[in-house]
Chains A and B, each alone.
Chain A
Amino acid sequence: MERENKYEAVIGLETHVELSTVTKMFCGCRLSFGEEKNKFTCPVCLGHPGSLPVTNWKAVEYAIKIALALNCKINKYTIFHRKNYFYPDMAKNYQISQYDMPLSSSGYLDVDMGDYTRRVGITRVHMEEDTGKLIHTGVTGRISESEATIVDYNRSGTPLIEIVTEPDIRSPEEAREYLIALRNLILFLDVSDCSMEEGSLRCDANVSIRERNSSKIGTKTEIKNLNSFKFLQKGLEYEIKRQIKVVESGDRVIQQTRHYDSRTGTTKAMRSKEEAQDYRYFPEPDLVPICLKDETIEGIRKTIPELPLAKARRLEEKYGLPAEDSRFLANNREIADYFEECCRYYDKPKNIANWIMGDFSALLNKERITIKESRITPGDMCKMLEMVDKGKISSRMAKSVFEEMFTTGKGPEKIIAERGLEQVSDESILESIIDEVIKENPGPVEQFREGKEKAMSFLIGQVMAKTKGKANPQLANEIMRKKID
Chain B
Amino acid sequence: METYNLTAHELNEKLVKKEITCTEITTDILARIEEVEGTLNSFISIEKERALSTAREVDRLIARGEKVCDLTGIPVAIKDNICTEGVKTTCASRMLENYIPGYDATVIKKLKSCNYIMVGKANMDEFAMGSSNESSYFGLVKNPWDVARVPGGSSGGPAASVAAGEAICALGTDTGGSIRQPASLCGVVGFKPTYGMVSRYGAVAFASSLDQIGPITKDVEDCASMLNVICGYDKKDSTSINMDAPDYKSFLIQDIKGLKIGVPEELMVEGIAPEVKEKVLYVIKLAEDMGAKVEKISIPGLEHALSVYCIISSSEASSNLARFDGVRYGYRNTEAQTLREMYRKTRTEGFGDEVKRRIIIGTYCLSAGYYGAYYEKARKVRTLIINDLKRAFNKFDVLLSPTSPTTAFRIGEKIEDPLTMYLSDICVLPANIAGLPAVSIPAGLSGEGLPIGVQIIGNTLREDNVLKVAYSLEKAIGFDKKPGL
Contacts and interface: CB of A to CB of B under 8 A. Distances in A.
A92 B315 CA distance: 15
A273 B107 CA distance: 44
Interface string A274-304: 0000101110011110000000000000000
Given A278-B367, A280-B368, A49 B316 contact: no
B343 A50 contact: no
Contacts of B368: 278, 280
A195 B284 CA distance: 70
A48 B371 contact: no
Interface residues of A, number: 28
A92 B316 CA distance: 13
Nearest to B325: A93
B327 A286 contact: no
Contacts of B325: 86, 88, 93
A94 B320 CA distance: 9
Contacts of A46: 328
Contact of B322 (A43, A48, A86): A86
Interface in A31-61: 43, 46-55
B282 interface: no
A285 B209 contact: yes
A280 B328 contact: no
Nearest to A82: B319
Nearest to B208: A285
B366 interface: yes
A387 interface: no
B67 to A, nearest CB: 30
Interface in B334-358: 339, 343
Contacts of B205: 49-50, 286
Contacts of B202: 50-51
Given A93-B322, A285-B208, A49 B238 contact: no
B238 A286 contact: yes
Contact of A287 (B238, B316, B324): B238
Contact of A92 (B81, B209, B239, B323): B323
B235 interface: yes
Contact of B101 (A47, A50, A86, A278): A50
Interface in B185-218: 200-205, 207-209
B323 A280 contact: no
Contacts, number: 98
Contact of B83 (A50, A93, A94, A285): A50
B336 to A, nearest CB: 13
B98 to A, nearest CB: 13
Interface residues of B, number: 44
A288 B238 contact: yes
Contacts of B203: 50
A49 B319 contact: no
B99 A280 contact: no
B343 to A, nearest CB: 6
Contacts of A135: none
B434 to A, nearest CB: 15
B interface, by DSSP: helix, strand, loop or mixed? loop
B322 A84 contact: yes
A279 to B, nearest CB: 8
Given A49-B91, A285-B209, A280 B238 contact: no
A286 B206 CA distance: 12
A416 interface: no
A455 B99 CA distance: 95
B83 A84 contact: no
B238 A54 contact: yes
A85 to B, nearest CB: 9
A356 interface: no
A45 to B, nearest CB: 11
Interface string B365-378: 01110010001000
Interface string B416-427: 000000000000
B329 A48 contact: yes
Contacts of A281: 366, 371
A51 B316 CA distance: 15
B142 to A, nearest CB: 27
Interface string B77-116: 0000111000001010000100101110100000000000
Nearest to B368: A278
Given A282-B366, A282-B375, A285-B208, A52 B236 contact: yes
Contact of B316 (A53, A88, A278, A285): A285
B105 A50 contact: yes
A433 to B, nearest CB: 81
Contacts of B27: none
6 contacts: A50-B202, A50-B204, A86-B322, A92-B322, A94-B319, A288-B238
Given A48-B328, A93-B322, A286-B205, 9 more contacts: A49-B83, A49-B99, A52-B200, A54-B236, A280-B368, A282-B366, A285-B209, A285-B239, A288-B238
Interface of A: 43, 46-55, 82, 84, 86, 88, 91-94, 151, 278, 280-282, 285-288
Top 6 closest pairs, chain A to chain B, by CB: A93-B322, A285-B208, A280-B366, A285-B209, A49-B204, A50-B202
Interface of B: 81-83, 89, 91, 96, 99, 101-103, 105, 200-205, 207-209, 235-239, 315-316, 318-319, 322-325, 327-329, 339, 343, 363, 366-368, 371, 375
